[in-house]
Amino acid sequence: MSAERAMVERAPAKVNLTLRILGRRLDGYHDLESLVVFATAADQLRLVPGPSLGLDVEGPTAAASGAPGDNLVLEAVRRLAARIGGLTTGHFVLSKTLPVAAGLGGGSADAAAALRLVARRNGLALDDPRLIEVARATGADVPVCIDPRPRVMRGVGDRLTAPLALPRLPAVLVNPGVPVPTRDVFGNIGLANGEVRGVSTPDPGDLSHPDALLAYVAGAGNDLEPAAVTLQPVIADVLAALSRQAGCRLARMSGSGATCFAVFGAAAQAAAAAAALARAEPAWWVRATEFG
């Protein structure tokens, strides 16, 4: 493969600062409302344009990501190629560093990065209706990952606000390495088809100051957190460990789990907390990062 021709995209972790479950639709899907940000912690995807589509997966969490042929990277690109004749694709190399099935949207972020690379290679705009259609068909989190900037996502992830002006937040991500199937977490909520448990709120106002942002986040919560803790009590241990760290301003689970995050007052505090947690729990995946 020619390094000169390779194109690279980061696939940043998606973090749900808030996650409200508003109800369950008649088709079985859940309506949600979530303030989403993206972390500096990320996978990386490289594309070498060529005549045949392929994928290699490498990196510390590659083994957990399954067979390359089933990866969302290939699924997304195949869907786009089916809609656009003559699409130039090529061989992808995915460097996996994010934990898999962890509430960070890693697979969706990878698929979105693949769509950005192919769009760039073929002169497609990121708001091309065919690309957006493919993103929605590939997975509920893929649309918000196409242009990874802070937003509120609603519905089944298909309704997005314009990007929000949020401050950068020093943070720590922790995954205890336990499986939390999304289907089981939603099942634990126990909503029947057509049942409503809440209503959508107006778009947030000015959240450009960290205090305003954290006050908003503290008031919204993650409705899936109690259900996930029931399935995997270690999540509560992670949240408690994060909350004990000096400078922690808020600790919460992201998405359907099991990854948890904590926001800190300063980057040095986040780095110190990550180092302390990694020493205390070497089996946990721990990263100091920044949200924005």
Catalytically active residues, by annotation: 14, 141
Per the DSSP assignment, residues forming a β-bridge with 184 are none
3-state helix, strand, coil in the chain (%, to 5): 35, 30, 35
Structure tokens at 163: 């990007």
- Amino acid present at 188: N
User: What residues contact residue 108 under an 8 Å CB cut-off, 6+ apart?
Assistant: 14, 72, 138, 139, 140, 141, 142, 145
Instruction: Count CA within 13 A, CB hemisphere, residue 161.
Output: 20
Nearest to residue 45, comparing CAs of 96, 3, 119?
96
d(CA 135, CA 146) in angstroms, rounded, equals: 8
The answer to whether the beta carbons of residues 177 and 216 sit under 8 Å apart is no
User: What residues contact residue 46 under an 8 Å CB cut-off, 6+ apart?
Assistant: 6, 7, 8, 92, 93, 94, 95
